[in-house]
Amino acid sequence: SLLICFYSTDLLPAKNGEEPTIQFLLEMVDILTTYVKKTFDRSTKVLDFHHPHQLLEGMEGFNLELSDQPESLEQILVDCRDTLKYGVRTGHPRFFNQLSSGLDIIGLAGEWLTSTANTNMFTYEIAPVFVLMEQLTLKKMREMIGWPNGEGDGIFSPGGAISNMYSVMIARYKYYPEVKTKGMSAAPRLVLFTSEHSHYSIKKAGAALGFGSENVILLSTDERGRVIPADLEAKIIDAKQKGYVPLFVNATAGSTVYGAFDPINEIADICEKYNLWLHVDGAWGGGLLMSRKHRHKLNGVERANSVTWNPHKMMGVPLQCSAILVREKGILAGCNSMCAGYLFQPDKQYDVNYDTGDKAIQCGRHVDIFKFWLMWKAKGTIGFEQHIDRCLDLSQYLYNKIKNREGYQMVFDGVPQHTNVCFWYIPPSLRDMPDGEERREKLHRVAPKIKAMMMESGTTMVGYQPQGKNVNFFRMVVSNLAATQSDIDFLIDEIERLGRDL
Amino acid sequence: SLLICFYSTDLLPAKNGEEPTIQFLLEMVDILTTYVKKTFDRSTKVLDFHHPHQLLEGMEGFNLELSDQPESLEQILVDCRDTLKYGVRTGHPRFFNQLSSGLDIIGLAGEWLTSTANTNMFTYEIAPVFVLMEQLTLKKMREMIGWPNGEGDGIFSPGGAISNMYSVMIARYKYYPEVKTKGMSAAPRLVLFTSEHSHYSIKKAGAALGFGSENVILLSTDERGRVIPADLEAKIIDAKQKGYVPLFVNATAGSTVYGAFDPINEIADICEKYNLWLHVDGAWGGGLLMSRKHRHKLNGVERANSVTWNPHKMMGVPLQCSAILVREKGILAGCNSMCAGYLFQPDKQYDVNYDTGDKAIQCGRHVDIFKFWLMWKAKGTIGFEQHIDRCLDLSQYLYNKIKNREGYQMVFDGVPQHTNVCFWYIPPSLRDMPDGEERREKLHRVAPKIKAMMMESGTTMVGYQPQGKNVNFFRMVVSNLAATQSDIDFLIDEIERLGRDL
């Protein structure tokens, strides 16, 4: 290629840089489209695993070290090919490892445009179209939550953990606005409530924001991982008796491991009774609001004060795309604004209500909206609905396949509420062993061993973890439109192939 | 185009989806490369300004509203063209509005690859190459700071405000680790110190983390915006006498408006004397560490406990790319870890020290490292040095051009330390007016009026703001390699053309 003799300094804005620039970008696109095609090709591996020390030592000329001197553009393209070669194909039909998976072509094109536009969400001035897209999309999301006329507030944030952190911040601001200026000493000893199955970000927010992780009180759940409302009420009463002031309850809509939906209406009744902020963490389950068939699982969500909803999980939007939605208008700005004169001048020629930056805890903010807006345009609401319904159908297929199958044991009974299917694979050597500590210890080691072999062979990936008293089990999730029943069959075959001699 | 009859459901993973997928992506790339070429073309406008209500009403068929039904791929491409048409060309040689500007072709290609890989930084398992790139790059950055062997800790975060928030969190954890579990009531009344010219994110962090914004004490500066060390010491003593406990000092390396560098060594002496955490906010000025000529402006940075450094600002890396760097190893994990079993299993087959997710306040984390790593490969350290030196030379050219020019007044005397050049343009009608309230009020309205006209005509963009007692002035910054002396000349001509009759 001509690019052997070219360096980055030959690209635009260099004089005569147009030709090498276009050539370079098109060669890059060729690498990327080849990767896209392979991603959907089942004869390609999900990953080509290497240990950190192997990659650090350098794989066949792939050198990660940085240097004082530049590399040629040709070498840069080689580096890009290698980067993809040793990575993980998260869009592969047999990648089931994470809540976010899949490679949506429209979303991908949207991200390419976003990075080409390379702007910042803090003002209308430099992101007019994206700022309006964000407003319209947040309004649509609030309508789907069921808030009247889609009124309210919201912002896209860098992930569900930060969205959940926002919810705790604004709850505190609503009840104790003076904490913003005076600090936590201006408030009584506040406590937050969330399920023992909830995402760890609520606890992290408690630690970061100065509540303390011990003041995040964990609620008991039923055996399917749903909060027991009576336990919430008992713990509220107990906290009050001990002199604490309950502030905030998080209800999870789609828990990380079990995919459980907490009973929002019953929790909302208790929140109203005790005047507490109700947040719904729908990072994982929020997408079900798009489905007429499944949205009932979030019944009561319209009673929440705030909702986290990550389109980058169940709806297949590329990372990152997470929204925090708030019922009360203006409270995000009230909570976070510092009115920095150099960004948010009141004397601009346009309506500065469109400068949204001061609502955020960030200053600069990546454009996360465009890919999502573009996907919504391209699929329509009905396209997201089909995506959701299809993934849930596929999970039910898996559930039906293994619930009575020899060598499998479900972690909880009944049809899963979300796409999470949690199960143990019991190798033949353990099937006749009586329950007890020895069997538990052995079973605990089965999933990690199978997972390690899967990764070494690169054929598929699925998550595992312990939960409470339950030893390591597989947690299967489906959010990738590329997956079919044959891929589910493949996963089960693979587990049995790798696990039968353990 | 064939795509008129195609919809997103015809793309991969659909059967026979390969051909329309490649065609769609290539047509998208054609739109993007056309945009890239125009971005560097001075005969193209920087922006085509419209008010929010105009865009919301729909421009020549550009409809922002979302619908239940899908659009054809052809319409999606039209939407993408329109999105770019009504946006702002932040890479244009005459876009001077923001600290981040420019469109680096290598960085752009890196972002395209990142979105194609569509993975998450939380574990080595699903981002092996990116996790290692992050580690190596952070180490290089720590070496440039001057910490022995580049040892320490760090992470890429979604912007400088979050990086600064990390610094406050870890300072608190270092001195009062029990706050993590018990909350702020486990600590005495803590205060933080930062310059009155510093970025508002320090105050925002103080509010969010439960210190209270009033407990962020603002330090006086000299007339060039640099912290006066004696004022810091006096305010420390004063706070202690009032029963507060000083915890943290932020020194700014490159302030947002004046581009001032606080005297780090003198501040470090005081921090050592009183045993305080020293953070250096080098979000804007950190890039100067790459320049042998300019790095002396950060002398003493190696004495800091933590440093914020945003390659997406002065170094031209696409948004977002911000690092928080910490001298003490392991403290980020200590501060933030919650040990969630479903992500960070201790029984994986690889060295789980490479699972960095639990160090972060985020769970999912966008891959911000790759574009930066790729740019470093392509330019070498010397390429970044040339970038920095060139931008600073260009600012000095502007400074020399206007410092004695009729109709200009500098906001502070002397050669700027960074690329920030702050000045008033005085229209002829005000030049003979005696100083006083009337002139101040009139002058205050000049910059907004010129800026509004600039945006309407779309020829160039530059920021303005008041600062303390100074009425609205222009703040010119250069971080875009595309800008030349002729563009600086153009800006000045444009200010005079638009402002002469005010």
Closest residue by Cα to residue B329 from B125, B122, B139, B161: B139
CB-CB neighbors (< 8 A) of B137 in chain A: 66
Interchain pair B29, A29: CB under 8 A: yes
Q: Are B466 and A339 in contact (CB under 8 A)?
A: no
**B401: distance to nearest CA of chain A, Å?**
24
**A204: distance to nearest CA of chain B, Å?**
7
Closest residue by Cα to residue B47 from A109, A119, A363, A17: A119
What's the pLDDT score for residue A1? 62
Interchain pair A115, B108: CB under 8 A: yes
Which one of A59, A111, A119, A165 makes the best mutation probe of the B interface by having the most chain B beta carbons within 10 Å?
Answer: A119
Mean pLDDT for chain B? 96
CB-CB neighbors (< 8 A) of B315 in chain A: none
Q: Is residue A361 part of a domain?
A: yes
Considering only the beta carbons, identify the residue of A56, A115, A126 that sits closest to B115: A115
Alpha helices by DSSP H, listed for B258-368, are: 264-274, 331-336
**B260: distance to nearest CA of chain A, Å?**
15
CB-CB neighbors (< 8 A) of A76 in chain B: 106, 109, 374, 377-378
**B114: distance to nearest CA of chain A, Å?**
9
What's the pLDDT score for residue A3? 79
Interchain pair B125, A215: CB under 8 A: no
Q: pLDDT confidence of A60, banded at 50, 70, 90? A: confident
Torsion angles phi and psi, residue A280, rounded to 5: -115, 115
Which one of B53, B347, B358, B420 makes the best mutation probe of the A interface by having the most chain A beta carbons within 10 Å?
Answer: B347
| Angstrom distances, CA of residue A463 to CA of A446, B70, B132, B133, B456 | 13, 34, 22, 24, 54
CB-CB neighbors (< 8 A) of B475 in chain A: 342
Considering only the beta carbons, identify the residue of B100, B105, B354 that sits closest to A364: B100
**For residue B315, is pLDDT > 90?**
yes
Which one of A73, A113, A157 makes the best mutation probe of the B interface by having the most chain B beta carbons within 10 Å?
Answer: A113
Q: Which residue of B has its CA nearest to A341?
A: B465
**For residue A230, is pLDDT > 90?**
yes
Within this chain, do residues B272 and B405 fall inside the same structural domain, yes or no? no
d(CA A374, CA A397) in angstroms, rounded, equals 31
d(CA A449, CA A457) in angstroms, rounded, equals 12
When pLDDT is averaged across residues A162-177 and rounded to a whole number, the result is 98
Q: Are A254 and A260 in contact (CB under 8 A)?
A: yes
Interchain pair B159, A472: CB under 8 A: no
Q: pLDDT confidence of B402, banded at 50, 70, 90? A: very high
Q: Is residue B107 part of a domain?
A: no
Within this chain, do residues A9 and A62 fall inside the same structural domain, yes or no? yes
Q: Is residue B100 part of a domain?
A: no
Interchain pair B184, A185: CB under 8 A: yes
| pLDDT tens per residue, range B444-491 | 999 999 999 999 999 999 999 999 999 999 999 999 999 999 999 999
- Domain region containing B193: 119-368
Q: Which of B344, B368, B392 is the last residue of a domain?
A: B368
Within this chain, do residues B468 and B390 fall inside the same structural domain, yes or no? yes
Q: pLDDT confidence of A191, banded at 50, 70, 90? A: very high
Which one of A105, A332, A350 makes the best mutation probe of the B interface by having the most chain B beta carbons within 10 Å?
Answer: A105
Size of interface A-B (CB pairs under 8 A): 522
Within this chain, do residues A356 and A422 fall inside the same structural domain, yes or no? no
Mean pLDDT for chain A? 96
Interchain pair B181, A83: CB under 8 A: no
When pLDDT is averaged across residues A134-150 and rounded to a whole number, the result is 98
Which one of A18, A85, A88 makes the best mutation probe of the B interface by having the most chain B beta carbons within 10 Å?
Answer: A88
d(CA B447, CA B449) in angstroms, rounded, equals 5
What's the pLDDT score for residue B59? 84
What's the pLDDT score for residue A345? 81
Q: Is residue B97 part of a domain?
A: no
Within this chain, do residues A264 and A147 fall inside the same structural domain, yes or no? yes
Q: Is residue B350 part of a domain?
A: yes
**A102: distance to nearest CA of chain B, Å?**
8
When pLDDT is averaged across residues A93-102 and rounded to a whole number, the result is 95
Which one of B4, B9, B10, B12 makes the best mutation probe of the A interface by having the most chain A beta carbons within 10 Å?
Answer: B12
Q: pLDDT confidence of A321, banded at 50, 70, 90? A: very high
Total structural domains within chain B: 3
**B426: distance to nearest CA of chain A, Å?**
18
When pLDDT is averaged across residues A218-236 and rounded to a whole number, the result is 98
What's the pLDDT score for residue B90? 97
Query: Can you name the residues that pair with B397 across neighbouring β-strands?
Result: none
CB-CB neighbors (< 8 A) of B116 in chain A: 32, 35-36, 84, 103, 108
Q: Is residue B323 part of a domain?
A: yes
**A130: distance to nearest CA of chain B, Å?**
8
**For residue A59, is pLDDT > 90?**
no
Within this chain, do residues B251 and B181 fall inside the same structural domain, yes or no? yes
**A176: distance to nearest CA of chain B, Å?**
11
Torsion angles phi and psi, residue A51, rounded to 5: -75, 155
**A462: distance to nearest CA of chain B, Å?**
11
Considering only the beta carbons, identify the residue of B28, B73, B380 that sits closest to A70: B380
Q: Which residue of B has its CA nearest to A168?
A: B208
Within this chain, do residues A340 and A420 fall inside the same structural domain, yes or no? no
Q: pLDDT confidence of B442, banded at 50, 70, 90? A: very high
What's the pLDDT score for residue B1? 62
Q: Which of A368, A400, A433 is the last residue of a domain?
A: A368
**For residue B340, is pLDDT > 80?**
no
Closest residue by Cα to residue B154 from B301, B333, B14: B333
| pLDDT tens per residue, range B71-110 | 999 999 999 999 999 999 999 999 999 999 999 999 999 9
Interchain pair B24, A83: CB under 8 A: no
**A271: distance to nearest CA of chain B, Å?**
23
Q: Which of A88, A111, A145 is the last residue of a domain?
A: A88
**For residue A340, is pLDDT > 80?**
no
What's the pLDDT score for residue A339? 80
Within this chain, do residues A246 and A293 fall inside the same structural domain, yes or no? yes
| Angstrom distances, CA of residue B197 to CA of A340, B256, B444 | 11, 8, 19
Within this chain, do residues B124 and B192 fall inside the same structural domain, yes or no? yes
| ipTM exceeding cut-off 0.90 for this assembly | yes
Interchain pair B127, A87: CB under 8 A: yes
Q: pLDDT confidence of A37, banded at 50, 70, 90? A: very high
Q: Is residue B112 part of a domain?
A: no
Within this chain, do residues B78 and B223 fall inside the same structural domain, yes or no? no
CATH number at residue B140: 3.40.640.10
Considering only the beta carbons, identify the residue of A129, A165, A319 that sits closest to B83: A129
Interchain pair A64, B136: CB under 8 A: yes
Within this chain, do residues B256 and B149 fall inside the same structural domain, yes or no? yes
CB-CB neighbors (< 8 A) of B111 in chain A: 111-112, 115
Please give the share of chain B, as a percent, with pLDDT higher than 70. 99
What's the pLDDT score for residue B344? 78
CB-CB neighbors (< 8 A) of B66 in chain A: 136-137, 140, 373, 376-377, 381
Considering only the beta carbons, identify the residue of B8, B108, B338 that sits closest to A378: B8
| Angstrom distances, CA of residue A43 to CA of A39, A459, A478, B15, B126 | 9, 9, 20, 16, 20
Sign of the four-CA dihedral B348, B352, B358, B364:
negative
| pLDDT tens per residue, range B163-196 | 999 999 999 999 999 999 999 999 999 999 999 9
Enter the DSSP assignment of A47.
Answer: B
Q: Are B470 and B442 in contact (CB under 8 A)?
A: no
When pLDDT is averaged across residues A311-324 and rounded to a whole number, the result is 97
Q: Is residue A201 part of a domain?
A: yes
Residue scoring higher pLDDT (A356 or A462): A462
3-state secondary structure of A417: coil
**For residue A61, is pLDDT > 90?**
no
**For residue B341, is pLDDT > 80?**
no
Within this chain, do residues B190 and B281 fall inside the same structural domain, yes or no? yes
